[in-house]
């Protein structure tokens, strides 16, 4: 597999250096560790800080959502690997403006372990924290075990809403409640068409035949719920959308935000073909799309495929989604 890289072991540090060089007005590193990024004006006095983090390989996820109206800091690990508790703690200290810090990240074992250790470190420093886990992947657990689901692209909605709440001056408990409310009303399902290729090995992380697809696949290549012959775009959209509508108990008259997300190697044109079908199906069900996002928001290196996320909306959720925000990879005017 051909890749535009230098030394594979330097891949993460070099792309992070590129982000810092390209966007010095938006992000900075607060110390000597280039894997910790914070918004350029951090810490903001009196504002709740939001720290996220996880493995590399998902850009713009995690490191791309640091900025005004979004997250305040991020700690980054190697490709598909958790950042250390020390890195999370350094990000925490760098964004603490005196109002506490919310940890908002995906539900993966290594991340949970290291963020929880950072909670203890922050407590020793007198920094109050709260934790909300993104757990929107409906393929990974049934509804009755929703809290155990994997976190995937739908966490973007939580970044946006919690970031807006923090920006307007909400307390730590209030910002955490906003994030939890978004998580509980978000559902995502994805389809994979090709595997990822890890920079350090140059080999696929899993195998899919030439005309094969996998419904419900995770962003690290975790097994899905159906593997079979590649279907049409409309059939794929139908397979992904129906479980989301059922999971959120959507009925005629409801409003939603829709995210059609590319996993890294799927052309934007194909994502709009999916969105077309999603729009048709929701309209036929009497469900209004009040907000939409189409593009690459949470990727898996060069995996071909896509995911669809729905957020069930009310007035307050929509207001938070519409609030101004800016990061290297996200602008909401």
Catalytic residues: 58, 220
Instruction: Determine the Cα–Cα distance for residues 5 and 57; give it in Å rounded to an integer.
Output: 13
- Residue-wise burial string across 19-32, b where 16 or more C-beta atoms lie within 10 A, e elsewhere: bbeebeebbbbbee
310 pairs with which residues across the strands? 187, 258
Instruction: Determine the Cα–Cα distance for residues 58 and 278; give it in Å rounded to an integer.
Output: 24
Instruction: Determine the Cα–Cα distance for residues 20 and 38; give it in Å rounded to an integer.
Output: 10
Q: DSSP string covering 20-43, please?
A: HHH-TTTEE-SSS-TTEEEETT-S
- Sign of the alpha-carbon dihedral angle for 298, 300, 302, 306: negative
Residue 325: name the closest of 40, 51, 72, 69 by CA: 69
Residues for the chain: how many in total?
Answer: 333
- Residue-wise burial string across 142-163, b where 16 or more C-beta atoms lie within 10 A, e elsewhere: eeeebeebbbbbbbbbbbbbbb
Can you read off the two tokens belonging to residue 164? 């807006």
Instruction: Determine the Cα–Cα distance for residues 293 and 24; give it in Å rounded to an integer.
Output: 26
> In degrees, to the nearest 5, what angle opens at C-alpha 165 toward C-alphas 19 and 23?
15
Name the packing angle between helices 155-167 and 172-184 (round to 10°). 150
């Amino acid at each position: 597999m051909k890749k535009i890289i230098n030394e594979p072991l330097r891949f993460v540090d070099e792309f992070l250096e590129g982000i810092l060089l390209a966007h010095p007005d938006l992000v900075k590193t607060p110390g000597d560790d280039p894997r910790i990024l914070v918004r350029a004006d951090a810490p903001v006095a009196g504002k709740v800080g939001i720290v996220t983090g996880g493995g590399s390989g998902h850009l713009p996820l995690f490191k791309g959502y640091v900025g005004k109206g979004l997250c305040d800091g991020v700690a980054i690990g190697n490709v598909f690997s958790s950042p250390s508790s020390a890195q999370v703690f350094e990000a925490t200290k760098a964004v603490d403006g005196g109002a506490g810090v919310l940890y908002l990240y995906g539900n993966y074992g290594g991340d949970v372990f290291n963020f929880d250790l950072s909670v203890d470190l922050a407590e020793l420093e007198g920094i109050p924290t709260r934790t909300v886990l993104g757990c929107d992947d409906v393929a990974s657990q049934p509804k009755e075990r929703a809290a155990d689901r994997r976190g995937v692209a739908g966490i973007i909605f939580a970044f946006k809403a919690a970031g807006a709440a923090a920006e307007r001056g909400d307390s730590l408990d209030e910002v955490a409640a906003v994030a939890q409310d978004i998580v509980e009303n978000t559902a995502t399902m994805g389809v994979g068409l090709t595997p990822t290729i890890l920079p350090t090995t140059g080999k696929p992380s899993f195998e899919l035949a030439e005309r094969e697809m996998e419904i419900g696949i995770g962003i690290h290549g975790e097994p899905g719920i159906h593997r079979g012959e590649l279907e049409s775009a409309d059939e794929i959209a139908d397979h992904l959308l129906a479980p989301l509508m059922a999971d959120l108990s959507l009925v005629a008259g409801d409003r939603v935000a829709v995210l059609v997300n590319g996993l890294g190697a799927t052309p934007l044109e194909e994502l709009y073909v999916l969105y077309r079908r999603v729009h048709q199906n929701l309209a036929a069900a009497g469900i209004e799309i009040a907000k939409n996002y189409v593009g690459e928001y949470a990727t898996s290196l060069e995996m071909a495929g896509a995911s669809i996320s729905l957020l069930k909306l009310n007035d307050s959720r929509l207001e938070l989604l519409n609030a101004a925000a800016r990061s290297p990879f996200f602008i909401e005017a």
